[in-house]
Amino acid sequence: MIKKSTDDRSPIKILWITLLLSGSYWILEALIHTIFFPSNYQSHQLGQTTFLTRFLYEFLHPDSHEFYMHLLIPILMLGFGAYLYWLIRQQLSKQEHSALSDELTDLPNRKPLVDRIESTLKLSRRKFQPFALFHINPARMTEVNNTLGHDTGDKLIQLISERLQSTLRTSDTIARLESDEFILLLPETGLEDIDTIVEKIKAAFEAPFALANSTIGVELAIGIAVYPQHGEETNALLQHASTAMHLAKNNKQIMQVYSEQQDSANTENLTLFQELRHAIMHDELMLTYQPKININTSAVVGLEALVRWQHPTKGLISPQDFVPIVEHTGLVHQMTEWVINESMRQSHIWQQQKLPINISINLSASNLLNKKLPGFLLQATARHKISPQDITLELTESMIMKNPIESLETLKQLNKQNFTISIDDYGTGYSSLAYLQNLPAHELKIGKPFSSNLLENTKDEQIVRSVIELAHSLNMKVVAEGVETKEILERLKKLGCDIAQGHYFSKPMPAEKCTEWLRQRFNASSK
């Protein structure tokens, strides 16, 4: 399956051509001088000739006492040359194998996989046979790496590879593309065979893996594309299998077969992406602001900036529809920069109007990996003439845990610059207490699913109480989102929650309306 590159043999060819040319010259010189000019090879003249010439002379004149000694030397040289050739071939073989295989699992990588698909495609066209591509993504790999370590994560990938291989026929191919993505190439496999194969894979993964004194269950997301129904070219089939896998993953299904409807959805998303990029560049986005209220004093302690998109033809588009597109494209940094600048510009305006207020800005996981973020934020505060203490940066727990080490370093820098750090949706991720203790965070936010069910669900109340006690023990304030009734507010107050946010106080408001709302609140508190 793995084709060796002929280009890698060029050093061997050059070596042997050089040796042959040099050897031919030595042999020709030795024959001419030894046969036709033997008188030149008296003992006192031998030191001025080549080794091979002296050897042939002594061979034709066996009375020379040096003959047997010189006989041993070329044998040793030939042996050394053969050994050197073997070493070079071994090194080239390793390089060829490394270039065509995954180091961790020793499976083929993308290049040999594509070659194999091309071969299968040609054969299937001739014989009118179908074949299938399975794009497989194991879930929870980020969680395993973050909680049990990358060595355990690597071992788990190896075990997953072995289990997948155990389900295959000898004619099938398995390759590893990304850190946690595999491709199965299954010749002579049609749509009618898919259910049987998926059930076989499911059965192989029913038993959990025993690693690092833990049992780890692995769920798979499998995207499937079949030739010729879902494509007649390699790239199209690979792309369609990937599209189906991501749909299965988003819908928390084990398997999804590609369909043209998915392509329609992708086309719509592409159109939306292009329009969104235009909106960012031409200030068609807007920010709304939702107040954060001190539960004990009823004072306004901050505003959360929430981005909205007023589409010229589709009207107001929900963030749920466009934020996922932003997070999976290069637009995330452009949108974040726009939100930061607009929030700080508005903060400066309110300060000039004697309405000083802290503004919370939401960041994404990819923002945390941007090493330029701390510098950009500091420059933005200087440009808009506000202080870093006027800004709170909100990040969800799950975002931080995607890259915990890099995230922690970025957060430490932001903390040194005096930005307030808020951890949103705490309790929905996988961070440990030890990790939380090391986070330079100032507040924890409890999501709406927990706070809105306080009155009906005793378990949710216990969770909220535990989070509040934990945060206070770490000198953090607690913000409850989704507060919509007075009863929920009172219950949160009894539990010791510090700050509340929700429709009970106000829905998110545009800047102009928020300005009037703030004036009323500030005037009321000053009386």
- pLDDT, tens digit, 9 for 90 and up, residues 189-227: 999 999 999 999 999 998 889 887 777 888 899 999 999
Supply the DSSP symbol for 193: G
- CB-CB contact of 441 with 407 (8 Å): no
More confident position, 68 or 102: 102
φ, ψ of residue 255 in degrees (nearest 5): -145, 145
CA-wise closest residue to 360 among 394, 334, 383:
394
Q: Work out whether strand 285-294 and strand 509-510 pair parallel, antiparallel, or are unpaired.
A: antiparallel
Tokens 């109340």, residue? 461
3-state secondary structure of 310: strand
CA-wise closest residue to 451 among 423, 486, 482:
482
3-state secondary structure of 161: helix
3-state secondary structure of 209: strand
Q: What is the pLDDT of residues 105-158, one digit of tens each?
A: 889 988 899 999 999 999 999 999 999 999 999 987 876 776 678 888 899 999
3-state secondary structure of 135: strand
pLDDT at position 76 is 58
pLDDT at position 211 is 83
Tokens 């065979």, residue? 193
Token readout for 409 is 């370093």
**CB count, 10 Å around CB of 175?**
23
More confident position, 165 or 249: 165
Token readout for 373 is 């973020």
| Cα-based angle 422, 424, 430 (whole degrees, multiple of 5) | 115
What CA–CA distance (Å, rounded) separates 410 from 429? 19
What CA–CA distance (Å, rounded) separates 440 from 418? 11
Which residue(s) pair with 255 in the sheet?
222
C-alpha distances (whole Å) from 314 to each of 285, 309, 320 are: 13, 10, 15
Contacts of 289 (CB under 8 A, 6+ apart): 303, 304, 305, 306, 346, 359, 508, 509, 510, 511, 514
What CA–CA distance (Å, rounded) separates 367 from 336? 8
Q: Is the pLDDT of residue 65 over 70?
A: no
Length of the chain, please?
527
Which band of pLDDT confidence, cut at 50, 70 and 90, is reported for residue 53? low
The least confident of 79-88, 148-157, 252-261 is 79-88
Q: What percent of the chain is modeled with pLDDT above 90? A: 47
Contacts of 366 (CB under 8 A, 6+ apart): 327, 332, 333
What CA–CA distance (Å, rounded) separates 140 from 1? 31
Q: How many H-runs (helices) and E-runs (strands) does the chain carry?
A: 20, 17
Q: Is the pLDDT of residue 79 over 80?
A: no
What CA–CA distance (Å, rounded) separates 128 from 202? 29
What CA–CA distance (Å, rounded) separates 24 from 409? 66
| Cα-based angle 211, 215, 218 (whole degrees, multiple of 5) | 95
| Cα-based angle 245, 248, 253 (whole degrees, multiple of 5) | 140
- CB-CB contact of 436 with 475 (8 Å): no
Which band of pLDDT confidence, cut at 50, 70 and 90, is reported for residue 342? very high
Q: Is the pLDDT of residue 23 over 60?
A: no
3-state secondary structure of 358: coil
- Mean of pLDDT values over 272-298: 88
Q: What is the pLDDT of residues 365-382, one digit of tens each?
A: 778 878 889 999 999 999
More confident position, 283 or 361: 361
Max mean pLDDT range (76-80, 103-107, 352-356): 352-356
What CA–CA distance (Å, rounded) separates 85 from 91? 10
pLDDT at position 61 is 53
3-state secondary structure of 216: strand
3-state secondary structure of 402: helix
Displacement of CA 353 from its chain's centroid (Å): 45
pLDDT at position 91 is 67
For 396-433, letters b (16+ CB in 10 Å) and e give bbbbbbbbbeebbebbebbbeeebbbbbbbbbebebee
For residue 312, cis peptide bond before it (omega within 30 degrees of 0): no
Q: Work out whether strand 173-176 and strand 209-211 pair parallel, antiparallel, or are unpaired.
A: unpaired
CA-wise closest residue to 446 among 410, 422, 419:
422
